[in-house]
Amino acid sequence: MALLFTWIPGSMVSVKETNWLKFEQEMLRSEEVLKVDVINNVKVEVYIKPDKLNDPRHSEVAERPFLNGPNPGPHYYFNIGSVEVFRNDMDLAQANRSDSEKIPVTYTPRKNWLGDSLGWIIMLAIIIGFWFIILRRMSPGAGAGGGSSIFNFGQSKATVFDKDNRSTVSFKDVAGLDEAKTEVKEIVDFLKNPQHYTRLGAKIPKGVILVGPPGTGKTLLAKAVAGEAQVPFFSLSGSEFVEMFVGVGASRVRDLFKKAKDKAPSIIFIDEIDAIGRSRGRAASFGGNDERESTLNQMLTEMDGFGTNTGVIVLAATNRADVLDKALLRPGRFDRHIYLDHPNLTERKEIFKVHLRPLKLNGEVDIDFLAGQTPGFSGADIANVCNEAALISARKKRKAVEKQDFIDAMDRVIGGLEKKSKIITPKEKEVIAYHEAGHATVSWLLPNADPLVKVSIVPRGKALGAAWYLPEEKQIYTTSQFFDRMCAALGGRAAEEVVFSEISSGALDDLEKVTKQAYTMVAYYGLNEKIGNLSYYDSSGSSENSFQKPYSDETAQLIDEEVRALIEQAYVQTIKILHENREGLNKIAEMLLEREVIFKEDVEKILGKRIVSSTNRTQGPPIPEKKKENDYSDETDKGDDDDKIKPIKRSGSA
């Protein structure tokens, strides 16, 4: 009865929603407001004077909807975000009134007993219903799976594509990847025309695994298979096998293969198979992976258990093939391994053609130029660039997407959002300008450094400045090429020391890259004379979770010393280059401070034409002498010059 009593008055009163603007201009100024009540500091209820309710504007709230007689109020309401703001607005609106003429404002806490009670009732009903379903499912003979099928968790969650529900993606939508498409098309043909192969004694492959970096088109290729193959296509992610209940993963594997066999010939696609296919018995497992391992064991059994004549082919994708169990990758399970790498120049042209097709372009856009400006981009990156270019063009209200929009989009994808509003002091801006000028100068004068495209001191993302390079697409790198790239990366910090005689924290990213590259040269590629032709790289990934390194403590110390010496050698060489070209460094920095963005043509006017690298260089310059002053870290003073690494073969500076 109390709840009913609370609910009835509100239902018998007509309250109309309004806003502050109407309240102030139409009610408060015309002195129609009797009082104002603030409910729970979020809602304002407005009471109109009885003699003002006869106004036609208040006809909707003048009377109660179900009872005869005038409406006592409230008549209007509106929501507020802050009580302080509302109080200030009221004071401003009534600034010309005396205290006796001001509208009284009251603050009332109010509870919605009916709403709170309904919430508890609904929650209680949900709990009762939940337990009712559990008891019913667990009862003997309940459901399709009997007592062992609680909530049917053991059933596969795969999405099925068949003749009634076919994917709209075809092989025409997959640009590049010619070799991979040929392999996958053959798999589709196996299912369409099996007799063409079996008559020669060939067996249909049981599985194909697509391996490659993220964004290279593994899932897209699988979607094309689903669209082209005129057979049922089961698609799901590896993580969908894993559940909190023990045994669910293995049960889902059994159910998936059972459905696939019933609809054979068919294809099963498992995306991100590394979620269940990781190697068993790793050192850092500590148990607790029994459910995942049982799921993997069931997968191994199913793939090797059904005959090749059942017409079921498993297609999987992963970007972590190094962590997969060897038993999963052996022939007889995944017979074919297809590696998808980042697209080359020709493939990038084809990918741009696909993604530029729906865009409205002007005549300036050159696909060859765009493909040449995006080395190392994946297909997903290229799609993102095209979309960003269209968004930038729309933001500028252009009728078509222009070439400059694509350039801006590349900068946006690579460097992040431009932040011209970031506050930087003149001194900091000068340091940043010389830092980036150092990168530009050193990379321009070293033949094996990546070709410079432009330099900017406009903040982007987390970076305060950046130098854009266009690296050549190489398959192998020599010691001189590695060394020149290290010198170019150290150019920023070296320029700070040459110009300001002190260094800043702005070289964090450069130092990280140089350190990783030096360790790679010494410990992985065998490019160090003291370490020799040894590589401690583990392609299997088994050392990833290991507590031990594959070398002794003495070797680890030697690696650290050689890495430190290599970086110091590159730093001294970089300092020497900048001292010899101080005038060009100053001009580039001054131009950056003036324009904020400069291009390779501007650098060429200052430093001259860039030297073209020669791949047949066999002898480099001697190691630069160490500086006598204490301008560098103490690491340069450890040992004699004989303890340093031998000169790396590289070209001399210009």
Q: Is 385 helix (H, G, I), strand (E, B) or coil?
A: helix
- Report yes or no: 173 and 220 within 8 Å, Cβ to Cβ: yes
- The first and second tokens of residue 286, run together, are 């500590």
Rounded to an integer, what distance in angstroms lies between the CA atom of residue 292 and that of residue 244? Answer: 11
Q: Is 293 in contact with 198 (CB distance < 8 Å)?
A: no
CA–CA separation, 492 and 302 (whole Å): 57
Is residue 430 part of the annotated active site? The answer reads no
Query: What is the C-alpha separation between 222 and 185, in angstroms, rounded?
Result: 11
Output the CA angle 177-183-187, nearest 5 degrees: 135
430, 436, 497, 561: the catalytic one is: 436
C-alpha angle 438-440-443 in degrees, rounded to nearest 5: 100
Handedness of CA 238, 244, 247, 251 (dihedral sign): negative
586 half-sphere exposure, CB direction, 13 A CA radius: 8
Name the CA dihedral angle for 98, 103, 108, 113, rounded to a multiple of 10 degrees: 180
Taking the C-alpha atoms of residue 319 and residue 585, their distance in angstroms, rounded to an integer, is 43
The per-residue b/e assignment along 416-435, b for 16 or more CB within 10 angstroms, e otherwise, is eeeeeeeeeeeeebbbbbbb
DSSP 156: -
Backbone angles phi, psi at 269, to 5 degrees: -115, 120
Query: Which helix or strand (DSSP H or E) is residue 337 part of?
Result: strand 336-339
Report long-range pairs for 102-105 (Cβ below 8 Å, ≥24 apart): 103/28, 103/33, 103/34, 103/35, 103/36, 104/35, 104/36, 105/35, 105/36, 105/37, 105/38
Residues contacting residue 310 through CB under 8 Å, at least 6 positions apart: 261, 264
User: How far is residue 537's CA from residue 6's CA, in Å, rounded to a whole number?
Assistant: 75
CB burial readout 246-280, b (16+ within 10 A) else e: ebbbbbbbbbbbebbeeebbbbbbbbbbbbbbbbe
CA atoms within 13 A on the CB side of 526: 6
The residues carrying an active-site annotation are 436
